A and B are shown apart, each in its own frame.
Chain A
Amino acid sequence: MNPAALQPIILSTKLVLSKWPYIILGGVVTTIFWIIFNVFDQLLFFSPVVTFYLPDNAVAGFIISNITAVLAGAVISMNLYVIRHSKGLKTGIVSLFSGSSMSVLSSTCASCSSLGFLLISTFGGLGITASTFLTNYQMPLRVISILVLIWAYYSISRKLTSSCVLYYDSSTKKYS
């Protein structure tokens, strides 16, 4: 990968992570997503006692959900930074939404969870088809959601850093 392409990411990450409120916000969002993913994955239970366990067959999914949670936290934190500090810049809301919602949806073993049950009992055959699709293609969907979140992170980083660049027009000898 071209190191220059990483420059905006490094710069923007440094910029946002230099401020405590955004670190805390990112941490909170990451924690919320982490809890949602692990409850859906039936690795984390709150009753009768708080329990967490990681069987061998769940390790891959756990790693993917951790990456997604951290990325979602970082992207949301960065978007809020942009909203507050960079007037006139567009945020990566669409990619953020599609990435995080896809990751939440795909992290659900649709048919096992109450969400899947709701889907099936409400939409019948169509619900079965939808939950079957989500269950069978859970891993690829989760990987796609990570890619979408990486794209959201990259694009918001570029926007955040490119706004600081001055272009010099040699013909008019002026910066724009």
Chain B
Amino acid sequence: MNKTHYKARKIKVLLSFAAIVTSICIGFMFVSSFNQVKALVKSSNSGNNNKLSFHDLVHQGSPFLGKRSAAITIVEFGDFQCPFCDRFAKETEPQINQTYIQTGKVNMLFEHFTIYGPDSITAAIASQCINEQGKFWNFYNILYNNQGSVNSGWANKDNLKKFASKIPGLDTQKFNSCLDSGKYVSLVQNDLSFATSLGLQGTPAFIIEKSDGSTPELLPGAYPFP
């Protein structure tokens, strides 16, 4: 009898433990999301919001889409290996582009948040080399259309050169030498540090703000088109 009671109590303890772990998981999801928003608001209030301004980010080399004069800026923090970034690129981005970017209401910037590993970094560097020639968004689509298993080598230098050769009008020699030289390694590292300093914890993440970097709003995740 005692043994049965002991077992039942043990199971109850285990189930309580499971309930607590589940609650912690849900709590963690909400708290981490709250912390990201908090970090952004803090950054904005401390007068550092110019570091998020469209002008500054473009000046630092971030690829952009749309008119410079647009009042609203969307900053995408993405990784070319992230399946959810791929989903955003295929499902939501074309609709945002058509509705808001092409009409001049919004412009969009891309920041590299390379949290996946080696292939992410190589792909990010390659995309910056392409950006030198103003073809970043073509490459953006090509990379997501050819996304492979994480760190499987799908984004090694040889493959990236093959992808780049599909872009009409690209100076491939210039691109190849840029990629081989690792010219944008530090830019990609800086982007990662920047995203981390904002408290971002996953990809994709979006900041929607006025183009001067004020009133930033964070959207963590591959949201659908509203």
Which chain A residues have a beta carbon within 8 Å of chain B's beta carbons?
Answer: 32, 35-36, 39, 42, 45-48, 51, 53, 55, 57-58, 76, 79-80, 83, 87-88, 90-91, 93, 97, 100, 104, 109, 111-118, 120, 128, 131-132, 135-136
Candidates B85, B91, B202, B223; contact of A117 at CB < 8 Å: B202
**CA–CA, A87 and B12, complex, Å:** 13
Interface residues of B in 152-194 (CB under 8 A from A): 152
Candidates B18, B87, B115, B219; contact of A58 at CB < 8 Å: B87
**CA–CA, A88 and B83, complex, Å:** 47
A54–chain B nearest beta-carbon distance, Å: 9
Candidates A35, A42, A114, A132; contact of B201 at CB < 8 Å: A114
Interface pair B201/A128, CB less than 8 Å apart = no
B95–chain A nearest beta-carbon distance, Å: 12
Given contacts A87-B8, A104-B25, A136-B150, contact A55 B87 (CB under 8 A): yes
Residues of A near B4 (CB, < 8 A) are 87-88
Interface residues of B in 15-65 (CB under 8 A from A): 15, 18, 22, 25-26, 28-30, 32-33
Interface pair A32/B22, CB less than 8 Å apart = yes
Interface pair A118/B221, CB less than 8 Å apart = no
Candidates A42, A57, A76, A83; contact of B8 at CB < 8 Å: A83
A112–chain B nearest beta-carbon distance, Å: 5
Given contacts A111-B150, A117-B201, A128-B117, contact A91 B84 (CB under 8 A): no
**CA–CA, A51 and B202, complex, Å:** 19
Interface residues of B in 79-99 (CB under 8 A from A): 79, 81-85, 87, 90-91
Interface pair B8/A112, CB less than 8 Å apart = no
Which chain B residues have a beta carbon within 8 Å of chain A's beta carbons?
Answer: 4, 7-8, 11-12, 14-15, 18, 22, 25-26, 28-30, 32-33, 79, 81-85, 87, 90-91, 115-117, 149-152, 201-204, 217, 219-224
A60–chain B nearest beta-carbon distance, Å: 13
Interface pair A120/B12, CB less than 8 Å apart = no
> In chain A, what residue has the closest Cβ to B149?
A136
Residues of A near B83 (CB, < 8 A) are 109, 112, 135
**CA–CA, A91 and B22, complex, Å:** 20
Interface pair B116/A128, CB less than 8 Å apart = yes
> In chain A, what residue has the closest Cβ to B220?
A114
> In chain B, what residue has the closest Cβ to A41?
B84
Contacts A88-B4, A111-B79, A113-B201 known; 17 new A-B pairs at CB < 8 A = A36-B26, A39-B29, A55-B87, A83-B11, A93-B11, A109-B83, A112-B82, A112-B83, A113-B202, A114-B28, A114-B29, A114-B32, A114-B33, A114-B201, A114-B220, A132-B116, A132-B117
Candidates A80, A111, A116; contact of B15 at CB < 8 Å: A80
Residues of A near B115 (CB, < 8 A) are 111, 116-117, 120
**CA–CA, A145 and B152, complex, Å:** 25
> In chain A, what residue has the closest Cβ to B118?
A128
Interface pair B117/A83, CB less than 8 Å apart = no
Given contacts A88-B4, A132-B116, contact A111 B82 (CB under 8 A): yes
Q: Which 9 A-B pairs have the closest CB atoms?
A: A114-B201, A53-B224, A114-B32, A117-B201, A132-B150, A42-B221, A128-B117, A136-B149, A42-B222
Residue in B7, B79, B82, B116 whose Cβ sees the most chain A Cβ within 10 Å: B116
Interface pair A97/B221, CB less than 8 Å apart = no
Residues of B near A112 (CB, < 8 A) are 82-85, 202-204
Interface pair A93/B84, CB less than 8 Å apart = no
Interface pair B91/A55, CB less than 8 Å apart = yes
